[in-house]
Every structure is written in structure tokens, then in C-alpha cells.
Structure 1
Amino acid sequence: MSADTSASPRVGQSVIADYVRTLDGSPGVYRMLDSQSRVLYVGKAKNLKNRVSNYARGNAHAPHIYRVIAETASMMFLTTKTETEALLLEQNLIKQLKPKYNVLLRDDKSFPNILVSKSHAFPQIKKHRGAKKEKGDYYGPFASAGAVNRTLNQLQKVFLLRNCSDATFDARTRPCLLYQIKRCSAPCVGYISEDDYKASVKDADQFLRGKSTAIQAQLAEQMHKASEEMEFERAAALRDRIRAMTQVQSAQGINPQGVAEADVIALHMDGGQACVQVFFIRANQNWGNHDYYPRVTSGASVAEVMQAFLGQFYSDREPPRLVLISDDVEDRTLVAEALTEKAGRKVEVAVPQRGEKLELIAGATRNARESLARKMSESATQTKLLRGLAEAFDLEAPPQRIEVYDNSHIQGTNAVGGMIVAGPEGLIKSQYRKFNIKGDDLVPGDDFGMMKEVLTRRFKRLLKEDPDREGGTWPDLLLIDGGQGQVSAVHEIMVELGVEDIDMIGVAKGVDRDAGKEEFHRMGKTVKALRHNDPVLYFVQRLRDEAHRFAIGTHRAKRAKSMSKNPLDDIPGVGATRKRALLAHFGSAKAVSRANLSDLTAVDGINEGLAEKIYDYFHERG
């Protein structure tokens, strides 16, 4: 790796030309940096010398590449053994560094799977997201949690598999509500044998692998047999399972017969914006779709956007055996080799020309086109609202990032702060943040103190991570739930931190605390109200309500967690087995806290040393 660290004011082709002499024909990755050492562009090359020479000459380039060249003050290089390795490294660096002029995939969410756990004699079926560390069979990905939940709901109707945790399963003495509504076979209380339950698990596995026709035929045969033997209740139950299975298939919409496993990826570009639709086909079933709106620089070609998307999308996901794309990329063979290397098996990348695969691409392309049209319409409306907000409150320019803050607590307990973010593209949910209020000296219900803690933590972090305000994470407008007192308190905090140049508006309920009669407070200005039917008023109300919803939801989650928390969980040396033994012996954690040493040592698995730890834990706290 080499870099120009000198503070040279030179930029452009002459700077790039100086690097050509230091390079050879190796494959690798290059970074182009501006005079502040910020990464402008990351690219890969089969031959670094040839690629950089191309930039140094006045050859024809896309508009955004001309801008990159004009701003380049230095470059960095990393050679690789192969071009495939360079492609993989390029996409990892783009995701990590987020260069100004690269196509950038902004939505980096993970997709859920269905997990049939295998760590228990009676396997559990559940939704799973994240690393596949738990023992069991994984099916997915599904495009959304909703798609998983719908499928799980129907699978429970068909196969009657449990979804409760192992701890809940082991503690049950009678069947739960799911058994009563025919969603579980109640293995927890022995209503089904281990062998019969495993047969249901096997059927579920076959269904999730696309072998539903055989299962339906088996169920139909069992239903007719039960009917002939006049077991009408069993026949009705089997009929309901067949219906549920049919509902799963019909709800999935597209179920291609000739495509067992594929990602269908379609791109539509319009007006300098792009939408990519991804459909997940697994086991000849449609497991949902998801849309992406990558950041596209002016002049980027369709092939460039598609190749950048594929590289970044699969940088942390396992590709399927077949990837169908709507538009060809610059080097499809190279992309397929990179995906094959990542997956450890052959991955084909294809642009369909006919038949069922082309129909899948056509459907995904139509979705991409319609989604982008909706988004562009919403963006136009949002832009108009931001412009109206700037005019209503005399802001210098329409805000590009609005942060809205709210607190939630019950008499000071389980206090949390919530921050939501909005901008030209609407609510940016990936930027939402929650703050667990930590202040030990806060008086219960001290909203001013809570807001001070939240904002102090927020802006201290911003000052540390992005002091030059160049990362796009600094707000240009704060909305605070409260009147003049709250605004004054927040202003003092901002002055203390040296960031008082950020616009701030306090939103108070106003007369009779009615929605529509809000009063708006700003430092050094008179109280302002907006007319009842002003779209800007509705916009601010929606932002405030969203912040309140987020804060309330965070508070409820924290409160529920604290209510279910067992004090025994915090004692070193007391694991799940010993905790069960203590609760079985004493009946409750409160009774454990009152026990003396001799009582504690009477519990199976609790020796004298551990008994002392448990005793000291409760009595030192008291």
C-alpha cells in the first residue's frame, strides 16, 4: 500500500500521473482522495497501471469520474492476487468508507429466516435473524419479518409445531392457548409422542424445501381413511391442515415451477435515482421481495449500478445458486466467480431472455418501476414540506436532517429518551436512537434533567466522531417536545457544548392542550402558531407523534424486560440449572433472598461456597 501524505495543493490529472510510474500490472484496489484525505472513490482494476494511466490521460469518462479526477489530491493502492479478490475487497471498502462518488447501497438490513431448532427432543419452530449459531435447520431468507410471521402462522396450523422457548416448554403442566386453538400439538404435556412429533417436523422440512405436493397427497389420503373409519373429528383436523397449506401457497403469489432457488434482481433508473427490487425464490416458492434505493452519482450507467449493487448486497449474505438480473453488468463472469468463491459452491449469474425466468424478471422490473415512481412522488411532497417549514420559521434553508426528541417514563422509573430522524426522503428509521437515562442524581419525573442528559450524550458523541460536521450525521434542526422552559434549558446545553448554531423549535400543546392549537417556541423570538389546516402543522405533528410513539415503545420494552428480570440472573455461578433448583425449592426469588445459609445449602447443587455468594449478594444489597 502506498499513499501521498504530503500537503500538496495540486489536484487533478497531473497528481494521478505521478502515481503511474510507481505501479505495475498487478490487480488490486485503488482509492482516490481529496485534499482533506477524504475518500472520493474506490475502484478495482485487473491491471492497476493501465487503469490509473487511463485517469491520467484525457480519455472519455462518465461525468462523475471527471469530477473525481478534478478533486483527486492523492491516491492509495492495495494489490491482490486476482481480479476476483480485488472485486470482493472493493465492495467491502465501499461499504466501510462510503465514498462520495461510488454507487452506495444504503439499506444494510439483515433478512430473517425460519429456524427449526434441533437442540431439543421436541424441536421448536421460530423466526431467526442474525448469525446462524444455534443448532438446527434454517430456511430463508424471507424478505421481511411479516413474510416470516405469515408463513409461521400457517405452518403452525398445518404441522402443529411448538414455538415456545425450551424453558417455557419444560415448565408447563397443562397445554397453553395454542393447543386450544389448534396451533400446537402440546408435546409439553405428552399429548403427542416423540416419534409422531418428529414425523410432523419432517413434513414441515419437506414443505419448506418445496415438496408440498407429496405432503398434501399424504394428508388427503389420511383424511379419506379417517372419514371411512368414521373418525370425523380427525378427518376435519386433517382437512383444516390441507386448507392451511393451500393458503400458504396462494399467499406467496408467484411460485415458479422451473426455478427452485434464485434471487431475482431488477433495476429501474429515472431522473438520477434508482430502485432495485429483489425477489427471493426458495424451494420453488416466493418468499417475498424487498426494494432498495442505492445512492447513484450523476452519470453512473445501469451496468455500473447493477454491478455495485451485487457486490455490496452479497458482501455479507450468502448468494443462492442462481442470480437472475434484469441488466447485464460490466464483467458478469468476474461477478459470478466472486460469488462462487464467497459461497464455496457454483453460483450462476444470468440475464434471462425467454421463458419463466424472463417473466420473473419482468415482474420484478415492474415492481421496481412502480416503487421508484411512488418514492419520487413522496420525495417531491417531502421537499415541499421542508421548504414550507423553512419559510414558516425563517430558517436559512430547508433542513436536510431533522432530529426530534422525546422522553418516556412512569414517575421516573425505566426512563428512556427517544430520537427520531427525518429528511428529504421522509423518516430515516435506521438513524433512530434510544437513550437509557443513567443519571443517578435525577429527581423522578425531571423532564428537563432527562433531556439534558440525552442531548449532552448525543452531541458529545457527534463532536467526538464528526467534529468537522462532514459525515451527514449533524442535524440542522431540532424539534423538542415542550414550551419556552424546555427550549431555554436545551439552549443552555447547546451553548455549553458549543453547538448553539443549530436551529431549534419547541412544540408545546397550546390552549386546552388540543392538537391543532400547538404553539412553537424559539429562542429570542415570539411564540408562533400555524393556521389549523397548514400542511406544515400536520407535518410537525406527525414528527412529534412519531417521536412520542418511539419513546413510548422503547419505555414499554424496557419496563417489560425489568419486570421479567429475575435477581438470580445476576449472581455469579448461578446458571439456568441452579436457578431452577432454587426456585423449585423456595418457590420464588424473594424467598431465596430471605433464606439463611443452612437453607441454601440444602438445595441440590448448591455448595457452601455458592450459598455464601447467594447470601452475600442479597444481604449486601439490602
Structure 2
Amino acid sequence: MAEQSDKNLTGFARIQEYVKTLDNSPGVYRMLDAQGAVLYVGKARSLRKRVSNYANPNGHSGRISRMIRETCSMMFLTTRTETEALLLEQNLIKQLKPRYNVLLRDDKSFPNILVTKDHGYPQIRKHRGAKKEKGSYYGPFASAGSVNRTLNQLQKVFLLRNCSDSMFETRTRPCLLYQIKRCSGPCVGRISQEEYCGLVADAERFLQGKSTNVQADLGRQMEEASANMEFERAAALRDRIKALTQVQAGQHINPQGVAEADVIALHMEGGQACVQVFFIRANQNWGNRDFYPRTGSGADAAEVLRGFIGQFYETHEPPRMLLLSDEIEEAELMAEALGEKANRKVGILVPQRGEKKDLVAGALRNARESLARKMAETATQAKLLEGLAEAFDLDAPPKRIEIYDNSHIQGTNAVGAMVVAGPEGMLKNQYRKFNIRGDSLTPGDDFGMMKEVLTRRFKRLLKEDPDRSEGHWPDLLLIDGGAGQVSAVASIMREMGVEDIAMVGVAKGVDRDAGKEEFHRAGQRPFALRHNDPVLYFVQRMRDEAHRFAIGAHRAKRAKQVGATPLDEVPGVGATRKRALLTHFGSAKAVSRAGLEDLKAVEGISDSLAETIYGHFHERG
């Protein structure tokens, strides 16, 4: 890595000095401003040639010219190949979030369907995250909803179990899913292992796009059962064929000539961009998602699409083909990099005719409509923020509002919640929950809980962003509570030396009715907004969202505690070994009473771990 700086040189002159030190190696360069913040990250086949372009004062767009003028220093990192440089570039962009780069802001993982392979009666269920479990994965699906719909269809047609292994081992009678014909009841022997594995194979063929063959096989089985006068079995097969027919009828926009592809379309308007991604797997449309990347202060369509693809597939497995709405820069290099990641060939195509062109046109139409809705929502949100600033006497419309709430039952499983709103609406990827740790708190002490939440939140801000340059500091705090809560929060903020952030308490008001809220500010009289004021509805929505998020976090914490067992406290016993012990002994109590030799007999439990488990429960008496 190389780095140089000279306080007396900026812009073109500064870059010209760097050119003298560079060779033709491939690599990644970073352009930094006077404060050391990264303005731009780029990759180059030849660092010398690429950086030389910036040293020339002529021929640049307004965006690039602004970036060059702000550049005070640069950093360089050489790589062995241009492909390595491309992959490193995208990593650094996601990590550093430079102002002039295209940035993918919403990059959550996508769910898959998992058919497990570590049990005699495989389970089918939704899976999200790293593919570490043994089994077959099908996806990605665009959302949890699309996975749930598909799983619901599979249950109707193939009658596969979705219960956990521990529940499977301990059942003594069929569950409700068996009664409503959504499961074949393998847990209680209502189907043989061979027959069940046949159902699993049919389900996997369906997920691979071979549903026609599955339907034909079911038809033959129904005819055979009818000929043998097995009318009950024939009726069951008829119901499965009917369900499969409904599934096929409900699947739309399923391409015949495209087995596996991501269809990616970009629409740009008014300095904003929407990228629509359709997931085509096994000749089936498994849903779509829209993304709104930051456009890097004016990047063109080719750069926006290239930046999106590079960052999107850093964390997602690329399909065999990408169908794009626009040409991208260095498409062959991108295909090579994606192929290297996937360990197989990945094609990139901008189709000009036929079914592929129609797929892209559909995605582009969705991108255009989604961006129009987004821009309309943004305009409405801007008016609401202006109204909020006027109502609460703020200097300017807030860019970041943080809303806080607590949830508990008589002080137990207490959770604090923070939700965030801004010009683009509710920013769900910024939400945070706080497990209340204060052992000295009196159960139900809302003031104490709020103090802990705010202290942890702002201590972290003071540590990670002391100069408030990264946009993580709020302009306005909304607190669920009245004058007492506001006074307590103001005191907390003074203790931390943070007294310049506006704060408003939202109290239910007379009869605790929605619409009669009172607003409290430190040192001022409470006031109310008129009943039909859009700003009032806006505040209510934000408060209700904080309440919803807090309750959800509290319920999740409570459910986790309910599902806890003494095995959770044993060192070295994780989820897999816990499952093995419960399967072998039937309950945590039986594990605690088991002898050392019995513990050693459990699959996956080593002699030393068996001694640890035995010692843990023995010491506890």
C-alpha cells in the first residue's frame, strides 16, 4: 500500500504528483478530502493510466470535476489481477460508503427452502443465512412471504413435515397438520420411510421445475389405486393432483426458455434510482425485490448498474445468467469475477428480443412504477417533516428522528427499543433493541430503563462518531411519556454533555385516547395539535411503530426464555448437541439425571464433554 499527502496541493495538481509514483499494476485507489474522509473508491487495470485521467483538467463530467477538486490525498493498493481489484473495490465501497460511489443501501439476505439430509424423514423449512446445514437448498426467494406461500403449497401437495427433530422424536399422536391433510404423519408411523422419501423426491423435483413429471406420476398412481379398488388412496392422490394444478395455475410470469437467471432492471429519474430484481429459478418466478441505491452524486446508468451488481453479489450467490436492462462497463470482467465467486460460468446479457427481452421489460416497468411511488412518498414525507419542524419550533426539518419505547411485563424480560424515521420514511435497518441489563433497577422502573437505553445509545455515538459527520446523530428525539419522562431524559442528556438535540415527549392526554395526545418539551408548557392535523397522524404512526417494535422484541425475548433449558448453561453444549441430548433422553431433566456412561453413549458427545455435563448437574446437586 502507498500513501502520500501534501497540504499545499489539492485537486489536479495533487493527483499529478501521485501519477509520478505509480506503475501499471492493477489495483484499487481511494480519493480523500481534507479531513481524510474517503470521497471515492475505484479500481484500475493500470493504476498509472487510470489516475492519469484524473490529472487531466479537461473532459470530465461535473460530478467527477467536483470530486477531483475536493481531493487532497490518495491511497493505493495493488492486486495481482484486475478481477481481484474489482472484488476489492466493491468490498471497500460497502465498508467505507464514499460520497461519490454508487452504494447499495439495503442488502439483507434472502430466504431459501431447505430440505434437510441428516434425518431418516427429511424436514422441509425456511432457511436464511449461511448454508451450513446438511441438505438441499432452493432459492433465493424474494421475501419470507414468497417462501411461506411455496411451503404452504408443498405441504398441501407432498405432505412433508416441518416440525423440529426434537418434536418429531417425542410425538405420540398426529399433530393438527396431519388432521388437515398437510402432513403424512411420519412421526407416528402413518407412512413408511420409503414412501416418505418418495414424497421428498417429488417435492425436490417440483422445486427443480419438473412439476409436469410429478403430476404425471401422481396421475398414474391414482389410476393404479383406482384399478386396485384402493379408493381412499385414490381420493388422496386426486386431492394432491388438484392442489398441484392450483399451484401451477397460480404461478405467473414463469418463463419457458429461462431456467435460472436474475432479471435486473434500472430506472433513473430526478437524481434517484430504482433497481428491480426478479429471481428466476427452475423456470419459475420466485419473486422480486426493489432497491434504491445511492447514485454517487450523479453517476450514469452504466455505473449505477455496475456498482449495484458488484455489491449485491458480494453477499449473494450469482445465478448462471444475469439479464440486464442496460449495458454496464466492463461486462466481461464482471462476468469473470462473478464466475470466480460461483466456481462456474456466469453470463451477463442485455437481451434485444424474445422472452428474455420481455422479462427485462416487465422488470423495467416495475422499477419505473416503484420509483414513482417512492418519489411521491418522499415528497409527502418532506412536507410532514416541514410541518413537524414548524409544530415543534425546530430550526429545520429533521433528517433523523429517533423514537424510543420500553416493553416488559412487571419488569421481566425488559427491552428498550429505538426506531428511526427520516426523509425516506421509517429506516428499518437502523432500528435497534436494547436488552435491559440493570440489575439494580426496580421492576417496572420505566425511568431507569430509559436512562439505561439512552446512556448506552449516546455513549456509543460519542465514541464512534464524536464529530457527528456520519449522519448517525438524531435531530429530534421522541419519547413515549409526559413531563416526568421528558425531565428525566433531559437530565440524562445533560450528564452526557449532549444538550443540543431537540426532544419531545408524547403523552396520551385526556382519557388516553388517540387524537388527544399532549406534547411536552423541557421547560415549556404542554400543547396539542388539532385533531385532523397530518403532523399529529405522523407522530402517532412513529410512536405506534416504536411500540410495535418494542413489543415484538419483548415477546421474542420472553419466548426464548420459555424455550430455555438447563442445558443452555452447560459449557460446550450448543444447539446441535442440545438437540442430540434431548433426542436421546427425551427431556432436560432426564439428561440431568443420566449417568456418565449413558451420557458418553450419545452420538456427538465426547468423553470429556460427557464428564463436563455430568459434573455440571452433579455440582448443582
Q: Secondary structure at the match of 1:183?
A: coil
| Partner residue in 1 for 2:420 | 421
Q: CA offset at residue 105 of structure 1?
A: 0.5
Once residues 36 and 181 of structure 2 are traced to their aligned partners in structure 1, the CA distance between those partners, rounded to angstroms, is 63
CA offset digits 1:72-118 (Å, max 9, x no partner): 00000111222222111111111111101101000110111101000
1:310 aligns with 2:309: yes
| Partner residue in 2 for 1:576 | 578
Q: CA offset at residue 62 of structure 1?
A: 2.2
1:42 aligns with 2:41: yes
Cα pair distance change 1:455/1:337, threshold 3 Å? same
Question: What letter matches 1:409 in structure 2?
Answer: H
Question: What letter matches 1:499 in structure 2?
Answer: V
Cα pair distance change 1:15/1:616, threshold 3 Å? same
| Partner residue in 2 for 1:159 | 158
Q: Secondary structure at the match of 1:3?
A: strand
| Partner residue in 2 for 1:273 | 272
| Partner residue in 2 for 1:184 | 183
Q: CA offset at residue 63 of structure 1?
A: 2.0
| Partner residue in 2 for 1:614 | 617
| Partner residue in 1 for 2:599 | 605
Once residues 230 and 514 of structure 2 are traced to their aligned partners in structure 1, the CA distance between those partners, rounded to angstroms, is 61
- Are 2:567 and 2:588, in contact at CA under 8 Å, matched by a contact in 1? no
Once residues 360 and 543 of structure 1 are traced to their aligned partners in structure 2, the CA distance between those partners, rounded to angstroms, is 38
Once residues 300 and 452 of structure 1 are traced to their aligned partners in structure 2, the CA distance between those partners, rounded to angstroms, is 44
- Are 1:62 and 1:299, in contact at CA under 8 Å, matched by a contact in 2? no
Query: Which 10-residue stretch deviates more, 319-328 or 334-343?
Result: 334-343
Q: CA offset at residue 321 of structure 1?
A: 0.8
Cα pair distance change 1:564/1:471, threshold 3 Å? same
CA offset digits 1:349-399 (Å, max 9, x no partner): 000000000000000000000000000000000010000000111101100
Once residues 214 and 588 of structure 2 are traced to their aligned partners in structure 1, the CA distance between those partners, rounded to angstroms, is 46
Q: Secondary structure at the match of 2:24?
A: coil
Once residues 573 and 346 of structure 1 are traced to their aligned partners in structure 2, the CA distance between those partners, rounded to angstroms, is 42
Question: What letter matches 2:355 in structure 1?
Answer: E
| Partner residue in 1 for 2:106 | 107
Once residues 141 and 322 of structure 1 are traced to their aligned partners in structure 2, the CA distance between those partners, rounded to angstroms, is 14
| Partner residue in 2 for 1:249 | 248
Root-mean-square deviation (CA, aligned residues, Å) is 1.9
Q: Secondary structure at the match of 1:329?
A: coil
Q: CA offset at residue 291 of structure 1?
A: 0.4
| Partner residue in 2 for 1:541 | 540
- Are 2:5 and 2:74, in contact at CA under 8 Å, matched by a contact in 1? no
| Partner residue in 2 for 1:4 | 4
- Are 1:252 and 1:288, in contact at CA under 8 Å, matched by a contact in 2? no
- Are 1:280 and 1:286, in contact at CA under 8 Å, matched by a contact in 2? yes
Cα pair distance change 1:615/1:282, threshold 3 Å? same
Once residues 573 and 12 of structure 1 are traced to their aligned partners in structure 2, the CA distance between those partners, rounded to angstroms, is 57
Question: What letter matches 1:331 in structure 2?
Answer: E
Once residues 30 and 602 of structure 1 are traced to their aligned partners in structure 2, the CA distance between those partners, rounded to angstroms, is 60
- Are 2:404 and 2:478, in contact at CA under 8 Å, matched by a contact in 1? yes
Cα pair distance change 1:610/1:196, threshold 3 Å? closer
CA offset digits 1:533-559 (Å, max 9, x no partner): 000000000000010011011111111
Question: What letter matches 1:215 in structure 2?
Answer: V
- The TM-score, its normalising length taken from structure 2, stands at 0.95
- Are 1:484 and 1:522, in contact at CA under 8 Å, matched by a contact in 2? yes
Question: What letter matches 2:156 in structure 1?
Answer: K
1:20 aligns with 2:1: no
Q: CA offset at residue 46 of structure 1?
A: 1.6
CA offset digits 1:280-319 (Å, max 9, x no partner): 0000000100100000134311111111111111112111
Question: What letter matches 2:172 in structure 1?
Answer: T
| Partner residue in 1 for 2:496 | 497
Q: CA offset at residue 612 of structure 1?
A: 4.6
- Are 2:22 and 2:48, in contact at CA under 8 Å, matched by a contact in 1? yes
Once residues 538 and 203 of structure 1 are traced to their aligned partners in structure 2, the CA distance between those partners, rounded to angstroms, is 51
Question: What letter matches 2:22 in structure 1?
Answer: L
Question: What letter matches 1:576 in structure 2?
Answer: K
Q: Secondary structure at the match of 2:439?
A: coil
| Partner residue in 2 for 1:127 | 126
Question: What letter matches 1:352 in structure 2?
Answer: P
Q: CA offset at residue 254 of structure 1?
A: 1.1
Matches within 5 A, 1:362-511: 362-511=361-510
- Are 1:581 and 1:604, in contact at CA under 8 Å, matched by a contact in 2? no
Once residues 158 and 592 of structure 1 are traced to their aligned partners in structure 2, the CA distance between those partners, rounded to angstroms, is 39
Query: Which 10-residue stretch deviates more, 119-128 or 47-56?
Result: 47-56
Once residues 608 and 51 of structure 1 are traced to their aligned partners in structure 2, the CA distance between those partners, rounded to angstroms, is 63
- Are 1:252 and 1:287, in contact at CA under 8 Å, matched by a contact in 2? no
Cα pair distance change 1:36/1:588, threshold 3 Å? closer
Question: What letter matches 2:550 in structure 1?
Answer: A
Q: Secondary structure at the match of 1:4?
A: strand
- Are 1:119 and 1:135, in contact at CA under 8 Å, matched by a contact in 2? yes
**Stretches of structure 2 lacking an aligned partner (at least 5 in a row):** 601-609
Once residues 97 and 414 of structure 1 are traced to their aligned partners in structure 2, the CA distance between those partners, rounded to angstroms, is 36
Q: CA offset at residue 474 of structure 1?
A: 0.9
CA offset digits 1:42-94 (Å, max 9, x no partner): 01112211111111111222222111101100000111222222111111111
Query: Which 10-residue stretch deviates more, 248-257 or 75-84?
Result: 248-257
- Are 2:419 and 2:545, in contact at CA under 8 Å, matched by a contact in 1? yes
| Partner residue in 2 for 1:596 | none
**Stretches of structure 1 lacking an aligned partner (at least 5 in a row):** 594-598
CA offset digits 1:492-532 (Å, max 9, x no partner): 11111111111100000111111111000011222110000
Q: CA offset at residue 567 of structure 1?
A: 2.0
Once residues 9 and 541 of structure 1 are traced to their aligned partners in structure 2, the CA distance between those partners, rounded to angstroms, is 53
- Are 2:566 and 2:588, in contact at CA under 8 Å, matched by a contact in 1? no
Matches within 5 A, 1:226-265: 226-265=225-264
> How many residue pairs end up in the alignment?
609
Once residues 588 and 42 of structure 1 are traced to their aligned partners in structure 2, the CA distance between those partners, rounded to angstroms, is 54
Question: What letter matches 2:618 in structure 1?
Answer: Y
Question: What letter matches 1:464 in structure 2?
Answer: K
CA offset digits 1:14-48 (Å, max 9, x no partner): 11111010011122111000111110000111221
Query: Which 10-residue stretch deviates more, 332-341 or 69-78?
Result: 332-341
Once residues 608 and 214 of structure 1 are traced to their aligned partners in structure 2, the CA distance between those partners, rounded to angstroms, is 53
Cα pair distance change 1:9/1:490, threshold 3 Å? farther
Once residues 578 and 207 of structure 1 are traced to their aligned partners in structure 2, the CA distance between those partners, rounded to angstroms, is 31
Question: What letter matches 2:398 in structure 1?
Answer: P
Cα pair distance change 1:524/1:17, threshold 3 Å? same
- Are 2:32 and 2:72, in contact at CA under 8 Å, matched by a contact in 1? yes
